Structure 1
Amino acid sequence: MTRQRILITGASSGLGAGMARAFAARGRDLALCARRTDRLEELKTELTRRYPGITVAVAALDVTDHERVPTVFAELSGELGGIDRVIVNAGIGKGAPLGSGRLWANKATIETNLVAALVQIETALQMFTQSGSGHLVLVASVAGNRGVPGVKAAYAASKAGVISLGQSLRAEYRTGPIRVTVLQPGYIASEMTAKAESTMLMVDTDTGVRAMVAAIERERGSAIVPAWPWIPLVLLMRVVPTRWAGLFA
């Protein structure tokens, strides 16, 4: 099935913008939302110039403004005449060791990556239930497979929550017209990973986005991307002592 009308949150930069470019190249219509509307407008101009046959709608959205999420999704759906796929992509990578006194950073990560994701999930499912079908994509992380000590503790916990929600939904909608995919990206070059301590395992943005889009198009229930080296590394993460898990996540 071709999902022609795709909504992406956190689409102003990084993997969100990368996926928008990849789907535009496939002729898909796009509903893009993020906090930075100037970047969204630049992206819209770029895509409509390169692919004049597509429609691109943009809207300002801070996903932590929970009341705005249903409103913005509905407005974008109206502009495109419906939404066939929602990619819950917006997220942040702030963090501090637990107990370090920087509660604000860990709280922001949990609220953005997990609580706001839940709001987007609820909104998307309501839209798909009304329309009769749809594809929900949750962008998690390989870090969600194991507790990670230090600055990534809250981030790993938030992504573990997203993976768990996705697993629950996949079981609930295993035979229905609503499809659910949980993506677990490894290190992919983006604004979020620009300050990563280790870049040895990082792939470039284009390579990472191609792997993500390919998995989304296949509508797999779950996909670790890129597959190499991350599938074996995730298996290793699950068995090594927790103090070493941060070497891979």
Structure 2
Amino acid sequence: MDRRRDMFGRKKKHIPERKNILITGASAGLGEGMARTWAAKGHNLALAARRLGNLETLKAELLAENPSIQVEVAELDVTDSEAVREVFTRFDDSLGGIDRFVLNAGLGKGASVGSGKSWANAQTAEVNVLGTLHQAEVAIELLRGSNRPGHLVFISSIASRRGMLGAETTYAATKAFVTSLAQGIHAEQSRRGSDIVVSTILPGYIDTDMTTQNQSPLKADFDKGVASLVAAIDREPAQAAVPSLPWTVVDPALRYLPEPVSRKML
């Protein structure tokens, strides 16, 4: 079989090497897991988060295990647009160009709307909506300005497919924004014939500190979730739900089945 084509005879997608990867929200959870996985694969990393101490510890561990790579870290509040610009630009200079931006920073806190805890919902909205927008603005500018191919990855959520209940109401709404923003940028870059590839990744339930209260039988363990997440991003799809089983089946069901039926899947 022609190695340039798949088993169905379709031309295989050429994926450039993404040597230098920037990850926000990298101090814990899925961000940290992705950093460890890509470090083991020999990628240079630029890691940002609010908790600089966690990042410094992670950097030391990554370099001890993978001495041939470069790791840069920086404290970053993604709701500060100027800080995002400064940190992303500094990372871009330090690594000689970022090839893949993984916009992973986000909050999962929240409360039922009207319960008197509007501050928690406001913080979630600010980080997940404005923070993602600030990151996307700078990432696109840097990639366009360098005139090189690049990969822009939005970490959304399967929760973006349906309005959620209680503490997850605001979170799901913010992730719907992330999904819509990513799809719009993908369409624009495609229309331009740009070399910037845009991916929307929709994690389902994965066992992290953010999901400790979730008892869904569909929740994947952390290692499986991270492996699925990295594998999906490396394929550079326009969109992917992870882990693929069961979420590639559940995802369309959430969008098209009547609400009382789809609700039972969450």
TM-score range, shorter chain: over 0.9
Residue 242 (structure 1) aligned with residue 266 (structure 2): no
Q: Residue in 1 aligned with 2:246?
A: 229
Q: Distance in 1 between matches of 2:108 and 2:257?
A: 24
User: For residues 199-241 of structure 1, what are the alpha-carbon distances to aligned partners after superposition, in whole Å with 9 as ceiling and x for unaligned?
Assistant: 4111111111111111111110000000111122222222344
Q: Is the 8 A contact 1:147 1:242 kept in 2?
A: no
Bigger radius of gyration, 1 or 2? 2
DSSP-derived class of the 1:179 partner:
strand
Partners of 1:205 and 1:104 in 2: how far apart?
29
Question: CA shift at 1:242, angstroms?
Answer: 3.5
User: In the TM superposition, what is the alpha-carbon distance from 1:21 to its structure 2 partner?
Assistant: 0.6
Deviation at 1:126, TM superposition (A): 0.4
For the pair 1:163 / 2:179, whether they are aligned, the reply is yes
1:248 deviates by 3.6
Question: Residues 138-183 of structure 1: CA distance to partner in whole angstroms, max 9, x if unpaired?
Answer: 0000000111132211111100000001111111112311010000
Indicate whether 1:185 and 2:200 are aligned. Answer: no
The separation in 1 between residues aligned to 2:120 and 2:262, in whole angstroms, is: 21
Equivalent residue letter for 1:165: L
Q: Does the Cα contact within 8 Å between 1:224 and 1:230 map onto a contact in 2?
A: yes
**Which amino acid is 2:121 matched to?**
N
Q: Which runs of 5+ in 2 are unaligned?
A: 1-15
Q: CA deviation at 1:195?
A: 2.5
Question: Is structure 2 residue 73 aligned with structure 1 residue 58?
Answer: yes
Q: Sequence identity, in percent?
A: 47
Greater Cα offset, 153-162 or 199-208: 199-208
Q: What RMSD in Å do the two structures reach over aligned CA positions?
A: 1.3
Task: Figure out how many residues of one structure are paired with residues of the other and give that number.
Answer: 248
- The corresponding residue for 1:32 is 47
Aligned residue identity for 1:66: S
Give the TM-score normalised by structure 1.
Answer: 0.95
Residue 9 (1) aligns with residue 8 (2)? no
Structure 1 Cα separation of the partners of residues 112 and 265 of structure 2: 17
- Offset of 1:247 from its aligned partner? 4.3
2:173 is paired with a residue whose SS is helix
| 1:27 CA displacement | 0.4
The one-letter code of the counterpart of 1:90 is A
Q: Give the distance between the partners of 2:151 and 2:136, measured in 1 at CA.
A: 11
Structure 1 runs (4+) greater than 4 angstroms displaced = 243-247
Q: CA 1:158/1:243 → structure 2, altered by over 3 Å: closer, same or farther?
A: farther
Residues 163 and 182 in structure 1, CA contact (< 8 A), matched pair in contact too: yes
The aligned residue for residue 105 of structure 1 is 120
